[in-house]
Amino acid sequence: MSSVGAPRQRADDDTVLAARAADGDLGAFERLVERHRGVVHRVARRFVGADDAEDVSQDAFLRAFHRLRGFRGDAPFRAWLLRITHNAALDHVARRRAEPVEPSRLATQEPAAGPRPPAERLEARERVHRLEQKLQSLSVSHRTVLVLRDVEGLSYDEIAQVTDWPLGSVKGRLHRARREFIELLRANTYDWELPA
Amino acid sequence: MSDHHEPSDSAEARAAELLALVATWTPDVSPGFGPALIGRARAQAAVAAPLRVLGGFLLALGAAAAAQVAARERRE
């Protein structure tokens, strides 16, 4: 039997799960958490650092939980959730603005990539840690756009939905963010093999 | 005069490579993350429902009091 006409929403669609969770179905909320905790945690980590990433992620999910009735499904659930994550991270950054980021605060977890020789793996991990620190040194708006676009691979439209910036502003900020990132790398003694 | 200069295309490409390296690395979320979060959501939901009822009751009480005051003012 073939399906004709408008596709029905699958029971495990984000929008369906969100509606069920808004009606008090915690199992549906749990499914949403399982599905999206990876991206929420990665964005939070690259925004606020390893130590606070889980706190910010929990805060973001709880904020989302209490606002589920406000989710209309006009935009993808992921963009809606990342918008809340972004705001939770901004609030966190504002609270601890005076504190410098210490290199020792970055966790020492293994890269998820396939098996590599230990020396190469260690070097890759070290590089990722240094790059994450550089990301956290960027201005807040540049950090946002670089993490969402160049690390998480969101489209310009999705970034506009997450940040509430106009599309043209997203593109302009991305250009300036990349420039700031390159200047930060150039200012470092570590050799990033950046061409002139 | 600014000391800033536009990075070359090759510098941008190299920066993109370095950011792609960050993207390949997926930090682990602790195993207790989900259960802790669901526990907090359950606890907050349990408190939120009675609070909503109480809020509704207080709103109704306020509205009744305001109506009574308005009626008294009209009589006077």
pLDDT tens, B10-69? 888 888 889 998 998 888 899 999 999 999 999 998 887 778 788 888 999 999 999 999
Two tokens at A15?
A: 């929008």
Would you list the DSSP string of A169-186? HHHHHHHHHHHHHHHHHH
- Are residues A94 and A130 both part of a single domain? no
Q: Smallest Cα–Cα separation from A80: which of A63, A94, A55?
A: A63
- Residue-wise pLDDT for A7-42, tens only, equals 556 767 999 999 999 998 999 999 999 999 999 999
Contact B12 A182 (CB under 8 A): yes
Contact A61, A35 (CB under 8 A): no
Residue of A nearest to B20 (CA): A151
Contact yes or no for A179 and B14 at CB 8 A: no
* Residue burial A25-54, b: 16+ Cβ < 10 Å; e: rest: ebebbbbbbeebbebbbbbbbbbbbbebbb
* Cβ neighbours of B27 in A, within 8 Å: 41-42, 45, 50, 53, 107, 109
Q: Are residues A35 and A64 in the same domain?
A: yes
Chain A (138-157) residues lying within 8 Å, Cβ to Cβ, of chain B: 146, 150-153
Pair A75, A130 in one domain:
no
**Closest to A26 (Cβ–Cβ): which among B7, B22, B42?**
B42
The torsion angles phi and psi of A74, rounded to 5 degrees, stand at -65, -40
Domain end marker among A47, A66, A99: A99
Q: State the ipTM, two decimals.
A: 0.72
- Domain holding A169, by residue range, is 116-196
- In angstroms, the CA A66 to CA A171 distance is 32
What are φ and ψ of residue A67, in 5° steps? -110, 10
Ranges of H-type helices in chain A: 14-22, 26-48, 50-66, 77-95, 118-137, 140-146, 156-163, 167-186
Closest chain B C-alpha to A6 CA, distance in angstroms: 34
Decide: helix, strand or coil at residue A2: coil
A107 assigned to some structural domain: no
Do A85 and A136 have their domain in common?
no
Q: Do A16 and A95 belong to one domain? A: yes
The enclosing domain of A90 has a CATH number of 1.10.1740.10
Q: Which of B12, B23, B25 sits opposite A178 (nearest CB)?
A: B12
A24 interfacial to chain B (CB closer than 8 Å):
yes
The span from the CA of A185 to the CA of A127, in Å, is 12
A165 touches B at CB < 8 Å: no
Kindly tell me the burial class for residue A111, based on how many C-beta atoms sit within 10 Å of its own C-beta (0-12, 13-18, 19 or more).
middle
Question: Mean pLDDT throughout A96-120?
Answer: 56
**Is A115 touching B (CB cutoff 8 A)?**
no
Number of domains in chain A: 2
Assess contact for A81 and A64: CB atoms under 8 A.
yes
Q: Do A89 and A18 belong to one domain?
A: yes
Q: Tens of pLDDT along B43-56? A: 998 887 778 788 88
Residue A71 lies in a domain: yes
Q: Is the dihedral of CA A122, A127, A129, A130 positive or negative?
A: positive
**Residue B1 pLDDT > 50, yes or no?**
no
